[in-house]
Structure formats: structure tokens, C-alpha cells
Structure 1
Amino acid sequence: MPLIRSRKHNPGRYLAALTLAGMAVTAAAQAESATENGDHDNPVTVTGHHERYKSDTVSSPKKTEALVDTPQTVSVISKELLSDQNAVTLTDALRNTPGITMQLGENGSTSAGDTFQLRGFSAQSSIYLDGIRDLGAVSRDVFNVEQVEVAKGPAGAEGGRGSSAGYINLVSKRPYLETRNHATVSGYSDGGLRASVDSNVRLGKTSGFRLNIMDQDVDVPGRDYVKNSGYGVAPAYGLGIGTDTRFYLLGQVVQQKNLPDGGLPVVGLAGYHSNATQPTPAVISNAQLALNNAALSAAAPVDSRNFYGSPNDYEKVDAAMATSIIEHDFADGVHLVNTTRYGQTSMDRVLTGVNGTNAAAASFNPADPSTWAVTRSRQRVDQDNRILASATNLTASLDWGSWTHDVSAGLELTYEEQQTKTYGTTGLVIPAASLYHPNVNDTLPVPVATGAATDGDTTTVAGYVFDTAKHGPWLLSAGLRLDTYTIHTNNTAATGATAIAPLKDSRTIASWNIGAVYKPRRNGSVYISYATSLTPPGGSNFQLSSTAGNLANAALDPTETDNFEIGTKWDVFRDHLSLTAAWYNTQAKNEISLQDPVTLLYAQIGKREVSGIELGAVGQLSPKWTVSAGVQTMHTEIKQGSTGNNAQGAATRWSPDLTATVWTTYKVTKRLTVGGGASYTSDQLLVVNPETDLSTYNGLPKIPSFVVANAMASYDLTRRIELQLNVYNLFDENYIQSLNNGGSRVTKGQPRTATLTAHLRF
């Protein structure tokens, strides 16, 4: 039967979004009327566009110096840049910095939530919120984010375990001492609405309250049935703002009800080759299989709107957290801050994955594409994360002889827990789907609980100290962090299976960094730095393993990454534009590698090197012209270990030789602003063994290079009402956003689409 596009939206969700928008329009109109009628007793502060994308510092008290004097590549993505691009997710935001690529899961499984590689290393467990690790298999929204900070290069001294190539820190919005309100409502060309409100109220001389609300029900561009729906509420209270002692209480609740995307078969895409092998026992001749493979290799691609799952697939995310921040300024520049958080996230998802074709089946007729099919997997992820953390930091400036020392020291106490239930499809019949005409009404079974589960937790006590010594044009810095942790993993066996003994690992690891900065002029610096990071077994997901050769085996040593970087930074055009350039070299050691292809024994002999150059320009070229741009090269080389080993190869995949991004806006008139930009990603290889003949690979061996251009225009109708048009993929580039590790399934980039947004200030 023909596929019918679904446009089923929750009327209540639309009503909520429209209600938010209506309230904002009414308030904006009333405020405009009050101003026009001379309401001088209750003046309203109107906020215009903030065109400066450049930030001079980051939020972390561990970094005591301005960015221009920090010996590390750090990108800051401001809320103004996010607003101009109408970026609403962390994935959207990170497209503004080079060297980050998106990933899918292994074979039939789809990775949940934000899954990134940063400079060739996984960054999924290196995402932080206000300096505290933010775990959970979720896709993060930025409705309550002030800015996104990306520190590149191993950062174990700052973040502890992991942080192999850096970290991503989201900074929450806080209240301030002004009354300002900003609301947006966006309509999407493919269907759906999104509305948000950012309201800050001054309550007294030193107190304020801020409330951020988001509600959306949006179809995923270019896809049938797939959609994102949810809401977020983030209240924040501040007391003592502008005084020596400040207290903030931040809350956030997010709920998502999405229909997830299992992707598309790779048949017909550039570089695809079918090389299916005979099953055991064989059901067709080798000659017939060769004909079948040849037919698939020459086949046309599937319709990019095809949906291979069920409308009953779902993804439910519930996340809540409460954070308290206490800051105190002592005399002589001593500053104390404590951040304490409790948070929990639950994710329950049922999704249909796309696997291989039926090329080796008797039903396959190379002359009749209606007989061509793809197998499907049914996946269920049911995971809960909890965190209780308290981080205390003290910074001070001390004079010691002719040197000034900026010192930052702290103590972090963290308890993290992850519970995962296991579901299976044993005994269930999962029908294959027609390759070109999948039937959305196919009955697809829901995976059932096997009785197996994993409950893992990590308790960490960490202490650190950083010192930057300054004398004349020189800044010398060093940092050391000690993490003492204990990981417990309790595996519950499947029903009827042999019980599994609990696992435990306790150890102390040390990470450090050093750097030297020379300032030839006040607004510039030249630097050199060296930094380390350690990732212990089970350090990413609390799941220890007793299997020999498994990277989570407690008997193994931590994997180690070391980074050497030389660079220069300059603030030009009266400090309005930041220019950066750096050469980096990162080496990974103790990676698992295949030692003996006969006995299939593994050992920690793998060594890998990632090196390249990164250039950046962020800020204002003139009062009307703003830019954010970056370029990064990345050369990955396996120095030791088998390139044919899947585990080794997985660590080397998705490392494009070149990534680049640029975005710029120009204020044409007092009311009209136009802008645009583009991003480029070179080929991303799935197969890293140079001896593999890619022309005979079964599947898609790489993501081809692509360029995506975007554009925007905004116009101030009044002092309080602005309309903004964003067009994405301006030239309708047909590209692949991500490819699974099995090479059988892709997620396509969105086609040309647009949003129209009303910004309301009152």
C-alpha cells in the first residue's frame, strides 16, 4: 500500500505553544502602547540584538586567565549566535566549531542522545552543565543555556576521568538585576511549532527571579512520521546579586516525547557496494548470489522520506535537576564558589533499526525490485541516571617576589549511578521491510524484558590545584588533579541464567597539564602546552566487565591521551575580534588491539596519533559586521596495533581530514539584518584498514564530503517585535549526516527547510 505521510500532532501541545505566543504578543503590544503613550513612571528596558559573538572568559573558575592568555584551544558559542541561527539543540550549537562529528550506533543499534566525536575521540561522557558532568542518553535542548564552551585537547586535570580530547560545558541562564522579557514563537516549513519565554524580574535591590519555558511539537525535516515533541521549565532565583555574597537556586525539568528515527538503508548511495555472503546452509547458488549483489550495487537509492519503523515507536525522556550555587568574594581578590546538584534522567525508547538486505535469500529477484527487502531490528533502551555532586573552588591572586600567582584549588565529591534494563527479541518475529515501499502498518513486536539488568555506580573524591605565575610578558601555568574513585557493577542475569558475580574497581589516577604563554603585546599571546587525560576501565558508563580483552575489564590499565599544542591568540579591531591558530598532536596509548589473529587474543598495545591545525575568528569586523568561523585539519594514524581490529578501527573512524564552519551577519539598516554561512566536512571513513578494497566492501564504507549553506534575515517591525527567517540547507544539498558502524544504515541531513520566528520583547 502507498505510504501516507503522518501529520499527527498533539493538539494540546500546539495549544500550549500558541498560548505562550499569544501571551507574549499581548504583553509586547501593551508594552509598546505604554511607551508610545508616555508611560514614564514605569519605563521598560528594550534589549536589541547583541552582535558580539566573542567572549573574553569562560565560566569555569579553574581557568583564571582571559581566553587570549589561556594555553589551549577553547571555543565559546554565545546565545546571540544561537539566536541568529535559531539553533535549539546542542547538536545545532556544536556545528559552529570545527572538529566535531556526529555518530550513530553499532550495526542495528542506534546511539541514544547526544553522541559526538571531538578531535577523533568520543565525547559522549564529556558533557558538563555548569562544570558538573551531565550524564544521560538524551538529546539536549539549549532553551536554558547562556553559552556553550568547548575546550579541546585532553583535559583530565579539569574534568577528571575521560575528557580524552576535551569537554563540552553548557552554562545555565541565571537571574540578574533588570526586568526583561523575551519570547519567541517559530513555525517550521515541514510542520510544527516551537515557543519559548525568557522572563527575568528584579525582585529587590539584590534579588531576581528568572523563568525559561519551552514547548514544541515539530516534524523532523525531510522525514515521514519522525517528530520531536516536548517541553522544558527552568526557574532560577538569585539573592545577593551584585554583592560580595551571592546565592543562586536553579531548577530544570525537561520532558520529551519523540518518535525516533531508525534511519535509511544505504542501497544506491554513492560508494555503496553489495557483497553479501552465503548463509549456512546456502539457499541459492554462488552464481545467483553474484547476480543479486550486482543488481543491488547498481540500484537506485530509496526515498529519503521512507520510514521503516512503526508509528508506535517512541522515545520518552524525563529529566529533572536542582542546583545551588553559593559565591563569596573575600578581601584581596579571594573568591569561593560551591556548586551542589542533584539530578536524575530516565529514558525509555522503542525504535526500529535498519540492517542488511535479503540479497542471499531465495525470494530475491534481481529483475524485480519489489522483492528486495531489508531486515529490521527492534531495540528498546530503558535507562536511568542519577547524580549527586558538590564542587567547591577557591581562587586567589598572590604576590611572591616579582611574580604574581593566580591560584585555583578545589575539591569535588560525586556519586553517579546508571541503571539499564535489558530487552530482547528472542522468539519474536520481526518482518523484513520492502526496500523501496516499506509498509508502516506492519505489525512489529515490542522487545520484552529478559530479566537481565545492569546497575553501576561510581563514587569519586577529587582534588586539584592550578597555578598561573605571571612576570612581565610571561605566564607559566601548571595543574594537577587526583581522582580517587570506586566503581561497582551489579549485573543481574537473565531469567533462568547463571547468576553473575558483582564487579568492583578502586584506584587513584592523576592528570596534569603545563603551559607557557609569551605576550609580545597586550592583546596577543604565543603559547605552548602539554596536557594528559586517563580513562579507566568502566569510566564512561560504570559497566565493568570480566571478559578478557574488554576495555572495561578492571584488570586493564587506564587508556591515556597526551596532547602537545603550540598556538597564538590575538584580540584585534579594538578587542572586538578574536583570532586564534594552533597546531596540536594527541597520542592515545594503552588501547585494546588484536595481538594474535589466530588465537584472537587482545592486548593493550594500541597507539594512535591525531594531529592537525585549527584556526578561528570570532567577533566583530565592524560595528555592523559579525563573524564566527573555524577550520580544523585532522590527520589520524595508527602507530601500533592491528588496523584490521574492529575495536581499534572504531576508535579511528569518523575523523575527517578537514572540517570548516563560517557564519556571519551584517546590519544593513537600523531594522534589517541579513546573515548566512556554511559548513564543510571532508570524507569520514568507516573502514580504516588501508588493505581493504572499498569497492568490494559490503555496505557503505564512508560518509562522502559535503557542504551545507544556511541563511537568515531579521527585521524589526517595532521596538519590541522582530521577525526572523532562517533557511537551512539553502542549496538543498543531498548529504549524509551520520552512518552506523555496520555500514548499513544512514541518517540523511535535512533538506532545504525554513523557520519563521517572531521575537517579542516586553
Structure 2
Amino acid sequence: MTGNAQRTIAQGASTLAIGCIGLFSSTLPAMAQGTDQAGQAGEGQNLGGVTVTDTAIAEGSYKVERMASPKATAPLLDTPKSITVISRQVLADTNSSTLSEALRTVPGITMGSGEGGNPLGDRPFIRGADSQASTYLDGVRDIAAQTRETFDVESIEVTKGSDSVTNGSGNGGGSINIVSKAPTDKRFAQIDGSLGNAHYKRETVDINQPLSDFVGVRINGMYHDQGVAGRDAIWQKRWGIAPSIKFGLTGPTSLELDWYHLHSTELPDSGIPYFTTINNQTSANAETAPLSTAPTTLINGQTITRSRGAFYGLIDRDFRTTNTDALTARFEHVFESGLKLRNTSRYSNTTQEYIYTQPDDSQGDVYGVAASINATASSMVPGTVWRRANTRYGSQSGFVDQLDLSGKFNTGSVRHSFAAAVEYSWQTSGYGAFVSNAATGTALSTGSTLTPRCTAAAIARFYCASAANPNPNDAWASTVSDTSNTSAAIQRSAPASMTLANSSTVSASLFDTISLSEKLMVNLGGRFDRYVTNASAAVVAPYTASRTWQGRTDNIFTYQAGLIYKPVSNGSFYISTGSSAVPPGSFLAQGSEDNAVASATIDPNSLKVQKTTSYEVGTKWSLFDDQFALSLDVFQTRTTNARYTDSNGIVAFIGEKRVRGVEVGFSGNVTPKWSVFGGYTYMPSKVLNAGYTATTGTNASGLAATIYAPAALTGHAFPNTPTNSFTLFTNYKVTPKFSLGGGAIYMGKVYGGFSDSRTYTNGVLSIVKTRAVYVPDYWRFDANAAYQLNERIGLRISALNITNKLYYDQAYATHYAHQAAGRTVIGTLSLKY
């Protein structure tokens, strides 16, 4: 499917989205007439948890008292974990329309990039761990590869440290729980329309309408269309709708039914190539950053200057389309004793397909390679880059049913606040690739079979582009091979070529916050999971062999334990520990994992569960009349049983990683007019054991031999883990109607990966060169202003990356880094009823 075809689909979808929003808005006048007396001038009106008057700007709170999860047994102040909750008001004030944009407000989190088996989509790293498979929606696992929206999000809960005890497999460095909007018994409506530079257009609608004292509905809708400031050719379009109905608005018994649909299509960003490779770096030990926009000298003496907007993809080939649907039913009953019973059932399905160009530096074309190093270098054209095509089509479906019971009871003078749960879930997924011949599985004609990649002939076929000024309109054509002139249609690979996976889980958990006295509390939790996973690797062309499956069953116990001391009612000190477990195959082909089940050479029964243990000591305070939360913690996270090759060349579970650090967090109102949100994280990390790498050469006797020595990553920092990171977002009410705000983000240097080149000659192993790829540290600044014309109409201007800083927000282990958007100024008109 071509990029033009995708744009046609997007235009049709946008028409549908606008029609939906028009339908919603037609109900507003009637709703406005039905506004209760609380909405009249001079009195407060509740707008989805936000209280406004006719003389004040609508504002919510940056501070959140407790998590929405039914497994939370105490307020955040009395929970012995590092937890950050991004409230709806923070999302609005920071103009965060996606999950990745929202997570930039939390220090210590970086976003990883796709490639290497990782599908495009959200890939957050928390405390050095890939948390792609540790994302939850209303407490239910949601690992499908996608780019998540915020139009139907009430808050985002980020738990740092080992957290499998709460939600199950994964969570080595932390987890993310997205809390969706739900119907309430208050009547309100809000429509936001936004325009900005780089063709930015966004419309959202949020209507909550009680139909009676018993039944209420809520409808959220969104249409989004934008380019990307400072980047050539790239565009993004999406629309979504999320209706819900609730029976029993005021309890004690309720049933809520939700549907969520999101469709997105885009020309994905292909990123910027790193400048040098390990073969052409100018010293034995070197670090390389992405190709600079400053004048850069190549190996042949030529000087090039990369344009800031350089886009290495192809407009008529590249595309990405995703569709997400989720149906949820939640029943809840509160007994007279205060016990709460809740059952949540959800079915979800996500599909994704894309072709996106990765500017691949692996051949050394960007800087150039000397003929003394590579005999084919004389035909290579320096100052070019190979357009490697990454392709994927796939789907993921899942069902979960979770039964929760929570409440409080006393045993003598000891008070208990408990939560118990039993869960059942299954998930299935699969993915294949786009090819030029489904019968033979022949890859798209991109020059992948040519050495070197970027010759004059390859450039003529548009397999390579200018590193300085690539042309996204190049007339690349799909052919049956890299050297053929015979056209071939782009098509999905054969079903047999798909990688398939499925899993089922049965689990039970119990949590209890035990108050021994007014000052001393104990927090305990345990979870048992029986995790069954099966996977089937792709069948090799010509697909005559039968598909084979491999599987295993893991019985996993995880825990948490904490001791809390409260010297005063508004402060606490704590010490805690927790564990997490990542069973083999738990990413379910939705991300790259180092412990996959499907393998032709490894018995799945010999695999082991990857385990992480966290320790944390901290303090939390509620200040300024309980309007401001402040926290400080010191932590260590240690992962063992990572799968690597041992010194004998045998797969073993010897990998170890450790991260230690200090974190400060703050959120809330310093004064009635001044709100702040953010924190600082100091997080030095170290890979203690990354396994062993094989080098083939000759032994002391001159005979052919292979030696295994520690891998290049051993002893270095974790990829995607900055040592220092800081965020601060603030808003100040200058007058009752006018407010000013802004934000600052600092991200330290982030490494994408480490590699080296080695020789083994006459029994002597020499590490010839070591290479690290990284993106530089950066500061980014935002600003915003808002003015409330009256109780119904408000204006807001947001300036993101106001200094137009060129920086990179994702680093991959090889090949490329992702360049962030330039200055983006967005104006928003809000209508409230």
C-alpha cells in the first residue's frame, strides 16, 4: 500500500471524525439549557473534576491523593513506592496529546525506538528497563504495539521499581497504568479546537450527560492532523471515539460499558543516521553522535552540511497505519460494610502495518570507508546513506477478566486496608513483512543484497540518498530483485511466514496495608501467576515445511514489602523491597525480547525467568495545607537471569544489570495561585555481565579456533538510561482570568549501544576498536498562557520547544537516532457548558 493510498484513507477517516464531532456538538445547546443551579453565575460548577466560577480560569490539581487502581490499599503518602501520577490538568497544561509526550514530564524515563524486532509504537524505558510490555489500561495489561492517545485519559500512573506483584509479568524497572475517563453524575461538556504551525490541527470533545439519577453517558472524540516542525515531509493523522454508559451513577451498584476506537495513519519519521561506524571511526575508542547540521568533513575531504529537516524516507512508499478497538464491561458493588467488589472484563484488538525507511549507517557510507579497510570502498560514494526498509503487518488480540475485592477491617487494635484479586487472561498475536513476492518471500528491492550499498548504480535506483539533502520525492520503484528492471507489487508475505505467539495467565494476588499504630504501618503484597506461552517461528520459503510450535509453563511468585513510619500525619519515611519477573516469551511478538520461546536451537524448557529485585528508602510529605506533595527516595534495581552466551559459547542465564539512584518528585500548589510538577533523577547504571562474544581466528598453534570473551556492553551504562534528568512544569495565576506557565526539561547523554571489533591471532585476542553511539544531552523549554474570557470560553497558547532546540529524543543501538520536533506554537479555543 502506497503513501498516497494511506492519505486517501486518512481523508476518509477525518471526514467521519468531523461528522462525529459535529453530532456531539449539536447536543450542547440542549445540555447548556439543562445546566443545574451550580452552573449559574457566582457559584462553582464541576467540569469533570475541575471547579470553575465566572471569575476564575478552569483549573484542576497537579497533586493526586491516591492511585485509581483497585489494588491500591493506601494514599500515595502512605505507599512505600516511587509513584508519579500525571493528572488531567498536567496533560492539558503541557499540551500532551500522546503517551510519549506525557511521559516527557517525568524524569528518568526515555523513549526507545523501533527496529531490531521492535515494532513502531510506545517503548518507554524506566530505570533502564524496557517497559513496552509493562503498559496497562485501567489496571489491565495492554502490550499491543501502538502510539497511545490522551483524548480519553483521566490520568497516567507511573510506578518505578519492580512491580510485577501488581499487574503480572514484566515491570523490571517500572510500569505505566493509563486511567480512562468514565461517566459521572455531573453534567458538563467541553470542546477544544487547536491550530498551530507545521499545519497543526486538533479537535477534541468531552461530553458527560446524566440521563437520569441512575444512567449516564460520556462521549469523548478526537481528530488530529499535523506535520512536524523542523522536519521535512512528515505528517500524522488520527481520529478516535470513546463512548461509555454507566448504570448506577451514584451506586452502590453500577455497571459501566465502554468502547474505545483509535485509527491513525502517518508518514513515519525515518530518523538521522550516526556519522561513523566501527570500521571508519578515527580512533580505537570513539563515540559517535547523529550526523550534525554543522559543516562536516568526510573521509575524502568533502564537506557537507545536513539540512535540519532532512528526511531519508520515500513519500510514495512509506506509511504506517494502526487501528485499536477495546470493549470493556465493569461491574461494581459497595456493601454496607464498606467492602467493594469489582469485576472488569475487556476484549481488545490492535492491528498495525507499515513500511518505513531507516537511514542505515552500517556500511559506512555517511563518512566513507578507506580502501585499505574495505576493498569495495573505491566504488562507495561517501556522503550518502542506505535507505533500509523496515516493514511489518500484524495484529494482537486479548481478553482479560479481573475480579477485585477491597475493604477495611480490624484485628483488635490493628487496622487493615486490603485488596484481593483473581485474574484470567489470554492474548494472541502475529506479524509478517511486506515483500515483493509472497510465494518466495523476496524482500523489497532496497539494495540489501548489494555490497557496498551506496554505489552510483544504487543511487540511481534511489536505494541510497544524499546524507546532506535527501529527496523524499525520489521515484523509487519496486522490482523483483535489487538488479532487475521488472516491476513487482508490494504485498504481504505469505501467512506461513508470520511469527505467531499466544499466552494465557491465571493469577491471584493479595495486598494489605497494616496500621500497627498511628505512626507505624506495614505494606505487604504477594502474587502468583501461572503463565503459559506458545510461539511459532516463521516458516522459511518456499513454505513447504509444517509450522512448529514451542511452549512452556511458568509458575511465578512475586512480592512487595514495606515499612512506613509517620512522625506526623502529613509526612512519612519508608523502606521497601519488591520483585518482578519476565517469563520467556512474554512480549508476545509485540517487541524485541532477549528470551524468546520460539527457537530452532534452544529447548524452551531450558529457559529461565528473568528476575529483578528493587530496594528503596524514601520519604514523602504533604505540604502547604495538603496541596503540595514532595518525595525523595534512594533506590537500587538489580536484574539477573538475562539470557546471554557464556564463555563456552552456550546460551546461559548469566546476564546482570544494576541501576542505583536518587529521585526527587514534587507536584501540587505552592500557593493558591502557583502550581508546579516535576522532579530530578540521578541514575548511574552499569551492565555487570552482558555475556560473551565469539571471535574466530587462530590459537597459539596457528590452528583455526574460536574464543569467547566478555561482550562490549559489559561494564558500560545501560542503553536508554541517562545519568541525570530533570523536569519542571509550572503555572501561575496572574489574575483570576489570566495565567502564565512554562516548563523545562533536561536530559543527560543517552547511549544507544556499544560494540567493538576484535581479532584472534596465534592465541592472542585483541580488541581493535570500541564504538559507542549516543545522543547528546539537552535542555528544552516550553511556555504557555491562558485567558478565560468568561465561564464558557477560554483561550490558551502553548509554545513547545520555544528556543527551537535541535535535540534527539530516541537513540537506537545502531544506525540512527530520532530527531525531536522544532518549535511548535499552538493556539486553543475551549468551549465549556
TM-score, normalised to structure 1, is 0.89
Which of 138, 143, 164 is the equivalent residue of 1:130? 138
The letter for the 2-side match of 1:625 is W
Note closer, same or farther for the CA distance 1:427–1:531 as it changes in structure 2 (3 Å cut).
closer
Equivalent position of 1:575 in the other structure: 626
Deviation, structure 1 residue 219:
1.1
Note closer, same or farther for the CA distance 1:74–1:34 as it changes in structure 2 (3 Å cut).
closer
Tell me, in whole angstroms, the C-alpha distance in 1 between the residues paired with 2:141 and 2:127: 20
Equivalent position of 2:819 in the other structure: 748
Which of 245, 253, 258 is the equivalent residue of 1:245? 253
Deviations, residues 509-532 of structure 1 (Å, cap 9, x unaligned): 110111110110011110000100
1:449 aligns with 2:493: yes
Deviation, structure 1 residue 545:
2.4
Deviation, structure 1 residue 591:
1.4
The letter for the 2-side match of 1:375 is W
Aligned 1:228-377 pairs, distance under 5 A: 228-267=236-275, 275-276=279-280, 294-295=299-300, 299-356=304-361, 357-358=364-365, 359-360=368-369, 372-377=383-388
Deviations, residues 45-80 of structure 1 (Å, cap 9, x unaligned): 474322421000111111110000000011000111
Secondary structure at the aligned position of 1:701 is classed as: strand
Equivalent position of 1:495 in the other structure: 541
Deviation, structure 1 residue 595:
2.2
Equivalent position of 1:200 in the other structure: 208
Deviation, structure 1 residue 166:
1.6
Which of 103, 106, 120 is the equivalent residue of 1:112? 120
Secondary structure at the aligned position of 2:736 is classed as: coil
Secondary structure at the aligned position of 2:537 is classed as: strand
Which of 809, 813, 817 is the equivalent residue of 1:737? 809
Which of 71, 74, 88 is the equivalent residue of 1:62? 71
Note closer, same or farther for the CA distance 1:378–1:204 as it changes in structure 2 (3 Å cut).
same
Equivalent position of 1:566 in the other structure: 617
Deviation, structure 1 residue 40:
7.7
The letter for the 1-side match of 2:493 is A
Structure 1 portions without partners, runs of 5+: 1-5, 278-290
Note closer, same or farther for the CA distance 1:435–1:45 as it changes in structure 2 (3 Å cut).
same
1:429 aligns with 2:445: yes
Deviation, structure 1 residue 622:
0.8
Which of 615, 624, 640 is the equivalent residue of 1:589? 640
Note closer, same or farther for the CA distance 1:14–1:670 as it changes in structure 2 (3 Å cut).
farther
Aligned 1:169-180 pairs, distance under 5 A: 169-180=177-188
Equivalent position of 1:85 in the other structure: 94
Equivalent position of 2:527 in the other structure: 481
Which of 678, 688, 693 is the equivalent residue of 1:639? 688
Larger deviation, residues 11-20 vs 465-474:
11-20
Equivalent position of 1:709 in the other structure: 781
Aligned 1:660-671 pairs, distance under 5 A: 660-671=726-737
Deviations, residues 483-522 of structure 1 (Å, cap 9, x unaligned): 0121111334133254442101012111011111011001
Equivalent position of 2:671 in the other structure: 622
Deviation, structure 1 residue 728:
0.8
Cα contact 2:775–2:817 (8 A) shared by 1: no
What's the Cα RMSD here?
A: 3.5
Equivalent position of 1:159 in the other structure: 167
Deviations, residues 638-663 of structure 1 (Å, cap 9, x unaligned): 33454853687999211110111000
Deviation, structure 1 residue 579:
0.4
Larger deviation, residues 411-420 vs 307-316:
307-316
Cα contact 1:322–1:343 (8 A) shared by 2: yes
Deviations, residues 165-191 of structure 1 (Å, cap 9, x unaligned): 121000110001121000101112111
Larger deviation, residues 570-579 vs 346-355:
346-355
Deviation, structure 1 residue 540:
1.7
Tell me, in whole angstroms, the C-alpha distance in 2 between the residues paired with 1:603 and 1:309: 42
Which of 513, 530, 552 is the equivalent residue of 1:468? 513
Equivalent position of 1:683 in the other structure: 749
What is the aligned residue count?
A: 731
Structure 2 portions without partners, runs of 5+: 1-5, 53-57, 282-295, 437-441, 447-462, 479-489, 590-595, 693-709, 759-765
Equivalent position of 2:451 in the other structure: none
Deviations, residues 716-746 of structure 1 (Å, cap 9, x unaligned): 122211111000111111111112211x212
The letter for the 1-side match of 2:401 is S
Equivalent position of 1:606 in the other structure: 655
Larger deviation, residues 374-383 vs 353-362:
353-362
Cα contact 2:757–2:768 (8 A) shared by 1: no
Tell me, in whole angstroms, the C-alpha distance in 1 between the residues paired with 2:767 and 2:86: 38
Cα contact 2:392–2:432 (8 A) shared by 1: yes
Note closer, same or farther for the CA distance 1:106–1:471 as it changes in structure 2 (3 Å cut).
same
Deviation, structure 1 residue 251:
0.9
Equivalent position of 2:724 in the other structure: 658
Larger deviation, residues 324-333 vs 621-630:
324-333
The letter for the 1-side match of 2:541 is T
Deviation, structure 1 residue 438:
2.2
Tell me, in whole angstroms, the C-alpha distance in 1 between the residues paired with 2:24 and 2:731: 26
Note closer, same or farther for the CA distance 1:29–1:322 as it changes in structure 2 (3 Å cut).
closer
Deviations, residues 347-396 of structure 1 (Å, cap 9, x unaligned): 11111111024334999999999863211112221111111110001112
Equivalent position of 2:403 in the other structure: 392
1:722 aligns with 2:794: yes
Tell me, in whole angstroms, the C-alpha distance in 1 between the residues paired with 2:322 and 2:753: 34
Secondary structure at the aligned position of 2:337 is classed as: helix
Equivalent position of 1:403 in the other structure: 414
Deviations, residues 548-585 of structure 1 (Å, cap 9, x unaligned): 57xx9442211110000000000000000000000000
Cα contact 1:364–1:371 (8 A) shared by 2: no
Deviations, residues 318-340 of structure 1 (Å, cap 9, x unaligned): 11111011111112221111110
Tell me, in whole angstroms, the C-alpha distance in 1 between the residues paired with 2:273 and 2:313: 9
Secondary structure at the aligned position of 1:374 is classed as: strand
Note closer, same or farther for the CA distance 1:662–1:590 as it changes in structure 2 (3 Å cut).
same
Secondary structure at the aligned position of 1:74 is classed as: strand
Deviations, residues 381-429 of structure 1 (Å, cap 9, x unaligned): 1111111110001112121122111121110000111111244574643
